[in-house]
Structures are given as C-alpha cells and as structure tokens.
Amino acid sequence: MENYMLTEQDFLVASISQLSISGSSSPPVVARFRSESLRFESESDSEEPVQFDLRNCQLFKLGPFQSLCISEASELNKEKSYSGGITIQFRNEEESRAFHCAFEQWKKEVVIQGSSLPNGSVTPSASKFDDKIEASSAKMYFHYYGQLLHQQNMMQDYVRTGTYYAAVIENRVDFVDRVVVDVGAGSGILSLFAAQAGAKHVYAVEASDMAEYARKLIAGNPLLSQRITVIKGKVEEVELPEKADILISEPMGTLLVNERMLESYIIARDRFLGPNGKMFPTIGRIHMAPFSDEYLYTEIANKALFWQQQNYYGVNLTPLHGTAFQGYFSQPVVDAFDPRLLVAPAISHVLDFITAKEEELYEIDIPLRFVSSVGTRIHGLACWFDVLFNGSTVQRWLTTAPGAPTTHWYQLRCVLSQPIYVMPGQEITGRLHMVAHKAQSYTLNLTLSVKSWGPGAEQGGILQTSSGKFDLKEPYYRMSQPQAYPMSQDQQGHHLLHTQDVQLQSQDEEGSDLLQQSV
C-alpha cells in the first residue's frame, strides 16, 4: 500500500571514517534514510555529506559498535565510477542493532519499489495480509489507528492500560534481559512498559502512520528509548534481526476476534517467537449466555416503524418494512448491560494463543447449551471476553464482563427478531457460527432452540427455534450505562460468576487449571 511506505528515518551515530582517504574520524553525524538513499550529514558546514544509494550498497558488522558501509560501482559505467565506503562507529550495541535493522528494512523497501513489471509499472510484494483483507478495509483500518485521538481513547481505558501495566511490571522476571516484540505497537506504550520492566531490546512493529508518533514518544523517554526500535510495517512482512523471548500485543477487538488482528498475533508468533517463548496475552475466552431485555428488543423493533407509513409524502413505504426490520436486527448491539439480564450461567470458548493455528480463526463453530434459571422471553445471546497474561510470577486477567468495570470494548449482544419462551430449568441449545470475511471482521450465524416442555418432551421434539445473521463489522453502538432493571423473585441469587465452562478441544490439562479462575 503506497500510503504506508517508508518515507524517512534518522539515526545519530558517533562518527564515520572514509576508507579511501584517511583513518581519521568525523565528529558525530546524523545518518538519514531518505527515499532510496542513505546520507550521513555533519553539523559542521566544512564537512561534506556522504551519500549512498540503497540499491547498490551493503552494510557489514566489524564489531559490536562498528560497521562498514560499502557502495558498489555503477553497473552502467564501471570504468568511470568507483566503489567506496565508510566505517561507522556507534555509541552502543543497541544503536548498532537498531541501525542495521533499519538498513535492512529500507533496503527491502527500495527493492520492492524498484521491482518493475513487463509494462513498466511497479508493484509491492503481496503478503498473506493482502491476500486475506480487502485493500479498502485495510486503508480505513490503518488510517483509523494512525490517529492520536483513537490511541488516546484506548490509552484512557484504564482497565485495559492498567491491567497491561500490572501484568508486565508484576512479571519482570519474564522481561529482564529478554528480547520483546510488540505486535501492532500503536503509540508504543506497551513497548515502553516492557522497557520499564527491564527488556534487553524491544522491537515495536506498527503498520500505520502511528509508527512516526511512536518514534517521537519513545525518543521523548531517553532512559528507555535506547532499548526500543520502532519498525514501520506489517508483521506479515517485516524482518527482525533476532528471535523474541516474549511477544506483547493488544490484538483484541469486539467479541475478541473483530478486526482479525489475532491472526497477525499468531503469525508473529510463528515468525518471531523463539522456543519456549511467552505471549502476553496467553489465552483468550469468549463467554456467552442467553439474555432477556424487553427494553432493548422494543427499541430495535421500533426503529423500523418509519417504514410502516402508508402516506409518506404520498408514497407507501410499507413494502420495505420487512427488509428494514430484519436489517436493524442484523446489527449486533455494543453496550454495557446489567448482568441480571442473563437468564442462564455462561459458557466459554477458549482460544490458546500459544497453540492455536491461524486457519482455526477463519471459521469458529461454538455449540451452545444452557439451562434457564428463570421463566422469561429470551431475546438473544450476550457475549463478552477475557484474556489471561500467564506470567511466571503473577497470572492476571483482563475482563470485559458485564458487572465488571466498563472497558472501551463494552459487551456485545445478538438480538433475535423472534424471541423464544423458556421455563425455569428448561434446556436451551443452539450454535454460534462465526465466519471471517475480507472486511477484517466476521459474519455471525446464531441459532437458539428450546426443547418441548411437558408430556412428550422425552421424544426430543423442538418446540421453538429462532435464528439470526449478524455482521460484526456493522454493530449498533448503544453507549449507555447499564439500566437498573427490577429484579424478580426468581432471578435473585443468580450471579454472573457461576460460569458454566464447556469442555472444549482446545483445553488441555494444564490450560484447564488456569481456566478455573473467575470471569
């Protein structure tokens, strides 16, 4: 994507020496990566800048703090052009490593931009990300996260940010002298946390223009900045000079999987994480429970009343009422709701980021089985998620559950256009089928059914069933505080924390111990 190519980058190096004239060193200079060139400029006007063409130069390590940059003679006129080079002295090993990483990234960018097709046009190399995601969706996505106001919105979610900070700082043993990769670094705040915890070096990988802001923020924290390298690019494409001991990322979207960044997190694991490496977060769980909310159902249904007008400026709108009615019910509702609206204990679907395969996220099929605690009308399925930071010292959960402190993720509810009736103790079964699509989200197919009640129930007949199709990309944001709904006698004593975890294939013996913790 042309809008997100590298444009410029600066490094301060201790000195450079021309190989062709003398061994004397220059005063400190700034190494500037610009377009297709690498230029070394001194603050002194008496010193001529030294420039290399990234297309035909190479960089070699002479030692921990010293490197050699060689420019090859022009292929077009080798008789009248000469090879040249300089030695570069760095102030420390971290700066040397960062410079080499930047050099490889810039050189790769130049090679990609210069790969001509037969018709003379230029194309970037296609990545797995480009194959899966529509270009228009990716452009909007990276534009959104390239703006500081959206980063601020996430950073001001103190449940989110505070939990990440605590998970890192309380588990310093996992970060001290370790190499860390921050996947989708955004503002770089998690990279700074990792550096505070003693990381040896942090590679902050960010594909949007926020990478430039991250560099600025990190540079403004000089005690930490020498151990952080910001790399602009997608994790599917960038190259790193070494393997990571730990990955840190905030890849969660609405319902955990929206925006499909979890796939990039897993790709980063496969590409960058060394043997026995750690991932923060380690495990994700999607929690689901049926709910009853007459207020919400009426609110959605009433939106379509506009289309029941038979004389709208002389026009009969009713032919579109049914389509509009279903359209409003196809939007998942994102808001914070009162947990007393749940009519059965929740079940969970587990995603273990250490072992999950990327392809497993393309389609997620969750069987549903609940036992109703009350007699009521069920209006749909409520969902939320939590993630575990499985540190060596402290295991910390970040939850978006109803009744817990509200996060910027809120919760999500799929409201069915046809409610179903249940009695206390009645079994509710169904299926939540989630299919990824190229707009970086999912189509949700929900079915809920209630078995017969009374004589003949042992025959297994279905009395009621209701289903709906929802686009996770197009939710209805209903950002209001939970309403104080009256609690009936038969609802008292039912609490969210009585979670009914379903045994899933992704749970092993070790993981199941972790999952016994409360939502």
Q: Which residues are catalytic?
A: 250, 259
Across the beta sheet with 462-471, the strand order is: 363-371, 427-437, 441-451, 462-471
The torsion defined by the Cα of 505, 506, 511 and 513, in degrees rounded to 10, comes to: -40
Contact 381, 290 (CB under 8 A): yes
d(C-alpha 517, C-alpha 285), whole Å: 12
* Nearest of 330, 291, 295 to residue 428 by alpha carbon: 291
Residue pair 86/16 in contact by the 8 Å Cβ criterion: yes
Give, as one character, the DSSP assignment of residue 279.
E
DSSP 3-state of 402: coil
In 3D, which of 156, 13, 158 has the Cα closest to residue 91?
Answer: 13
Measured torsion, CA atoms of residues 147, 151, 154, 157, in degrees rounded to the nearest 10:
-120
Count other Cβ atoms within 10 Å, centred on residue 459.
8
User: Are the C-beta atoms of residues 277 and 178 closer than 8 Å to each other?
Assistant: no
* Cβ-proximal residues to 136 (8 Å cutoff; 6+ apart), any chain: none
**φ, ψ at 116 (rounded to 5°):** -80, 145
Q: Can you tell me the distance from the alpha carbon of 296 to that of 298, in angstroms, rounded to the nearest whole number?
A: 5
DSSP at 472: T
Longest dimension (CA), the chain: 101
Distances (CA, A) of 354 to 27, 130, 260, 277: 48, 24, 17, 9
**Residues 97, 229: contact at Cβ < 8 Å?**
yes
Rg of the chain in Å (alpha carbons):
28
Side-chain-side CA neighbours of 460 within 13 Å: the count stands at 0
CA distances from 472 to 270, 347, 480 (A): 27, 20, 19
- Compute the distance between CA of residue 177 and CA of residue 201 in angstroms, rounded to an integer: 8
Tell me the C-alpha distance between 36 and 108, whole Å.
Answer: 10
- Tokens at 487, concatenated: 């609690």
Rounded to an integer, what distance in angstroms lies between the CA atom of residue 38 and that of residue 10? 10
Q: Classify residue 484 as exposed, middle or buried by CB count within 10 Å of its CB (0-12, 13-18, 19+).
A: exposed
Q: Are strands 244-249 and 273-280 parallel, antiparallel or unpaired?
A: parallel
Give CA–CA dist 348/368, Å, rounded: 9
